[in-house]
Amino acid sequence: MTQPLARHFAVELSPEVEAARQPDAALDAAILERWSPRAFSPRPVEQEKLDALFEAARWAASSFNEQPWRFLLARSDQDRKKFVDFLLPANQTWAKNAPVLIVVAAKKTFSHNGKPNKTHQFCTGAATAYLTLACTQHGLIAHGMAGFDAELARATLGVPTDFDLLAVFAIGYRGDKSLLPPDVQEREAPSGRRPARDSVMEGHFIQPEEKDAEAQTKPSS
């Protein structure tokens, strides 16, 4: 029997996520299990799984159904080296091991009238979130990076000026953290989040109390 293309993926929480993250409301396990490791296995990502990631991104909502996202993919050694070269050095140390690198681009104007699309980055972020959740569903990890030279990436990849380059993602199977430099190994753990109530304001804006983001989201021991 042919397996249905639209189906439920059962994701189990790993012990490290259970220890670090406690939701305050009912939540799909794939959302909680998604975090951003840096240790990648050299194991290649199957074409079927890559197709599933981009299929997930395809169904994100966008203004006027513009779908402004574009994903520039590197898998061969030659292409991956090109992508690694425009990452900042701190990201190069670990991202060079990822079997898949993706540059996320967003079209700044609407195709139907050429006018500016003020939500192009917002919509592309939504599609990218779908993609990273699909990684978790398919047993993959994803780590997004803002630390890259966007203009060098534009020149290297021939990206038109009508597209913003937003991020680079490393994607693959998780590897052992011993593959990482010692200082990076120390950060190889799921992070917490501030309570949802601190992000929600009913009726009017409330100036949030300034807090150190990292300190307030660290899991309790």
Residue 39 belongs to a domain: no
Residue 17 lies in a domain: no
Contacts of 169 (CB under 8 A, 6+ apart): 101, 102, 104, 128, 131, 132, 142, 143, 144, 145
Q: For residue 82, what pLDDT is reported?
A: 98
Model confidence pLDDT, tens digit, residues 66-115: 999 999 999 999 999 999 999 999 999 999 999 999 999 999 999 999 99
- Tell me the three-class secondary structure of 129-154, residue by residue: HHHHHHHHHCCCEEEEECCECHHHHH
Q: What is the average per-residue pLDDT within 117-126?
A: 98
pTM (whole model) above 0.75: yes
What residues does 164 pair with on adjacent strands?
106
Average pLDDT over residues 175-194: 93
Q: Residue 4: which pLDDT band, with cuts at 50, 70 and 90? A: low
Mean pLDDT of 205-219: 67
DSSP state, residue 158: T
Residue 199 lies in a domain: no
> Is 97 contained in some domain?
yes
Amino acid 190: pLDDT: 96
Does the residue 196 lie in any domain?
no
Structural domain includes residue 10: no
Query: Which residues constitute the domain of residue 71?
Result: 44-177
* 3-state class (DSSP) for residue 11: coil
Average pLDDT over the chain reads: 93
The CATH code of the domain that includes 112 is 3.40.109.10
The count of structural domains within the chain is: 1
What confidence score (pLDDT) does residue 165 get?
98
Q: Confirm whether 29 is domain-assigned.
A: no
pLDDT of amino acid 221: 32
Residue type, position 24, single letter: D
State residue 207's pLDDT score: 86
185 pLDDT band, cuts 50/70/90, is: very high
Residue 157 forms part of a structural domain: yes
Q: What is the mean pLDDT of residues 123-136?
A: 98
What mean pLDDT comes out for the span 185-202? 93
- Report the pLDDT averaged over residues 3-20: 84
What are the DSSP E strand ranges found in the chain?
69-74, 100-107, 141-145, 163-172
The token pair that represents 174 in the structure block: 């998780």
